[in-house]
Chain A
Amino acid sequence: MIAEGKKLRTELALITEWIRPNSHVLDLGCGDGTLLVHLRETRQITGYGVEIDHHEIVQCIESGINVIQANLNSGLSDFENDTFDYVIMTLALQAIERPDILLQDMLRIGQEVIVTFPNFGHWAARMHLLAGRMPISRALPNEWYNTPNIHLCSMKDFEHLCAQLDVKILQCAAVDTAHRSTPAMKRFPNLMGEVAVYRLQK
C-alpha cells in the first residue's frame, strides 16, 4: 500500500506522542509492523496490524506482531464498533479505492483515527502542475501511469472532506519526508508540508 518507501522514524515519533499508553490499536496497512513494534515498546499497546502483502506479513510474524491479512478496499467488517482506542493508517489513504468510505469505517471501529498522507498541496507539487506535469517528489516518487496513489489530495481537500463527513479534527501536523516540522510548515502547512498527519474523531 505504501508507495513512498519505508515509513520514517520521525513520523512514528510524532504518532507515538499522540497515543496514550496501554491503548488498543489497529494499524491498517501496517507493512512490516515497525510502528506497532515501536508502540508496543514505548506505549505498551495491544492490537493488530492489517496487511495484504505476504512478505510484509512474514516480517510482522517474525516481530511477534499480530497481523490479519485483508484487503482494505473490502472494508473492515471483521471489526466491531468502537473496538479500538486508535485506528491508524499511515501513507495509505491515497491508495484506497474509496477513502471517504474507509475513513468512516475507521471512525466506526475506533475512538480516534490517525491518518497520514502525502500532501498534494505542497509547493513542489504545485510547481510541477504549473509546469504542466504531474508531480514527482520524494513523497510521490511514481509516474502517473504506475502510481498506486489514485486519490491524491491536499490538506485543504482533506479538511473539506472531514467537514462534509462531520468528522472532528483533533490535531494536525505537516512534516517533510524526513518528518521534520519546521516553523514554515507550522505557519503554512498546506504549502510547506510534504506529509500531512491528522488525528480525528467522529
Chain B
Amino acid sequence: MADNFPTDSIGLVEPVVQHFNKPLMLDCGRALAEYDLIYETYGKLNEQRSNAILICHALSGDHHAAGFHREEDKKPGWWDSAIGPNKPIDTNQFFVVCLNNLGGCKGSTGPVSINPLTGKLYGPTFPIVTVRDWVESQARLADVLGILKWAAVIGGSLGGMQTLQWTLQYPDRVSHALVIAAAPRLSAQNIAFNEVARQAILSDPEFYKGRYYEHNTVPRRGLMLARMIGHITYLSDESMRAKFGRELKEGKLNFGFDEAEFQVESYLHYQGRSFVGRFDANTYLLMTKALDYFDPAREFNHDLVKTLANVQAKFMVISFTSDWRFSPARSREIVQALLRNRKSVNYVEINANQGHDAFLMPIPDYMAIFRAYMQQVAKEVNV
C-alpha cells in the first residue's frame, strides 16, 4: 500500500483528538472550560521518553506536518521536506508530535467548534489566544503523552515564537530550541501587514461581524485578499521575478480589469481562492493577533537580555538572507540576547532567495545544518 509514497516519507498518518476537561485560563482573562487538541505523531517514543520532538506550526499551518492522510493524497503534510525517515527530523530516531493550535480550524477547538455552553458555534466569540496560551495547552498535551522534557521544540515563523516561548515558560522541559525564520516580536511593519489582512476580512460585507456561518456564507473576498497580501510578504522580490517575471497569461495585454493578466496576478488569485476553501476567516484573525501580541520582553521592561536570562535550552537560530518579513536582523536580536547571557547558541544565516517561505523548503545548505544539529540532539538523548 505504502508503495505509492516516496521511500523517505513517513507514509500514511492518522490524527488523534485529545479532549481536555480541566479549564484553561487564558491571557485575555477568559477561560476555556473544556477543549480538544488534534495532533499527529510520527516515529516511536523510546522507553526513557527522551526522544520526543514538538513541532509548532505557523500562521496557516496545522497538525498535519508530515506524511499522507489518504492513499490518493497528492500533497504530504506542510513540513514533509524536513520530517520523515532519514530526513533532518529523522522519524527513525525521534518521536515527533505536531498539533493544531487552539483557535485553529483543523480539529482543535476554535471558532468553527461548538461552544458547549451555548450549543452553537463559537464564531467571533472565541477568545483571543496568545502564544503563551498555546504553550500552556501544548504542555498539557505533553503531560498526556507522558513527555516530561522535549528533546527539541522546533518551529518556523510564528512556530519559532512558540519555540522561544517554551524556553521561557517551561525552561526545564526543553533540551533544544530550533527557532527558524522568527523574531522576538513583530515590527511595526509586520503588524501593519497583519492589520491590512484583518481589515480585508472585517470589511467584507459577507463577514457579518464573524457570524457568517449563520448566513451560510464566508467572507470569501476578504480572506482571499488577506492571503494574497500575506503571500506577497512570504516571497522575495527576487523569487517573484524568477517565478513570474512580467509574463502574461495570454501573451498579450487585454486593456481591462476583468481577469488576471500577468502570471503573478493569476498565482495570487489561485493562492487566495484555494485558501478560502481550506481556512476559516475567524481563525485567520485570531492567528494574526497572536502574532501581533507576542512580545515576551514586555514583562522585562523590553529588555530581551533579561527576558532570556533563565532559559536552559540550547538554541539553534536559523534565518534566510532574502526573508524580509522576518529578516535575519530580527533573528540576530535573539542571538545577541543569548550571547549576552552566555547561553548555548548557534546561528546560521542561509543563503536563499525564496524569502520567508524558504523555511519550508528543502534548501541543501539549510537541510545540512538542520540534519547536523538534529544528529547532535539524537546523540544526547541516546536514540
A-side residues, CB < 8 A to B, are 24, 46, 48, 54, 57-58, 60-62, 64, 66-70, 78-80, 83
Bound CA–CA A67/B372 (angstroms): 13
Given contacts A78-B332, A80-B340, contact A62 B345 (CB under 8 A): no
Q: DSSP class of B's interface residues: helix, strand, loop or mixed? A: helix
Query: Considering residues A57, A58, A66, which has the most beta carbons from chain B within 10 angstroms of its beta carbon?
Result: A66
Contact among B342, B347, B368 with A58 in the assembled complex (CB-CB below 8 Å) = B368
* Interfacial residues of chain B within 352-382, with CB under 8 A of chain A in the complex: 365, 368-369, 372-373, 375-376
Q: Shortest Cβ distance from B175 into chain A, in angstroms?
A: 13
Cβ-defined contact, B345 with A66, below 8 A? yes
What are 15 A-B contacts with C-beta separation under 8 Å? A48-B345, A54-B368, A54-B369, A58-B369, A61-B373, A62-B375, A67-B348, A68-B339, A68-B347, A69-B347, A69-B348, A78-B332, A78-B335, A78-B336, A78-B339
Determine the chain B residues whose CB is within 8 A of the CB of A80 once the complex forms. 339-340
Given contacts A61-B372, A61-B373, A62-B375, contact A83 B340 (CB under 8 A): yes
Question: Which 10 residue pairs across A and B have the least CB separation, nearest first?
Answer: A61-B372, A68-B347, A69-B348, A58-B372, A78-B336, A62-B372, A69-B349, A54-B365, A58-B368, A61-B373
Q: Does B344 contact A (CB under 8 A)?
A: yes
Q: Shortest Cβ distance from B366 into chain A, in angstroms?
A: 10
B-side residues, CB < 8 A to A, are 332, 335-336, 339-340, 342, 344-349, 351, 365, 368-369, 372-373, 375-376
Bound CA–CA A161/B344 (angstroms): 35
Q: Shortest Cβ distance from A138 into chain B, in angstroms?
A: 32
Determine the chain A residues whose CB is within 8 A of the CB of B344 once the complex forms. 66
Contact among A24, A60, A64 with B342 in the assembled complex (CB-CB below 8 Å) = A24
Bound CA–CA A64/B314 (angstroms): 11
Bound CA–CA A57/B345 (angstroms): 13
Query: Considering residues B336, B346, B365, B375, which has the most beta carbons from chain A within 10 angstroms of its beta carbon?
Result: B346
Q: Shortest Cβ distance from A86 into chain B, in angstroms?
A: 14
Q: Shortest Cβ distance from B328 into chain A, in angstroms?
A: 10
Determine the chain B residues whose CB is within 8 A of the CB of A60 once the complex forms. 346
Residue of B nearest to A64 (CB): B376
Residue of A nearest to B375 (CB): A62
Bound CA–CA A70/B339 (angstroms): 14
Query: Considering residues A58, A62, A69, A70, which has the most beta carbons from chain B within 10 angstroms of its beta carbon?
Result: A69
Bound CA–CA A46/B342 (angstroms): 9
Determine the chain B residues whose CB is within 8 A of the CB of A24 once the complex forms. 342
Bound CA–CA A175/B67 (angstroms): 58
Q: Shortest Cβ distance from A2 into chain B, in angstroms?
A: 20
Q: Shortest Cβ distance from B372 into chain A, in angstroms?
A: 4
Bound CA–CA A122/B365 (angstroms): 40
Cβ-defined contact, A68 with B345, below 8 A? yes
Given A46-B342, A54-B348, A78-B339, 13 other A-B contacts at CB below 8 A? Answer: A48-B339, A54-B369, A60-B346, A61-B346, A61-B369, A61-B376, A62-B372, A66-B344, A67-B346, A69-B348, A69-B349, A79-B339, A83-B340
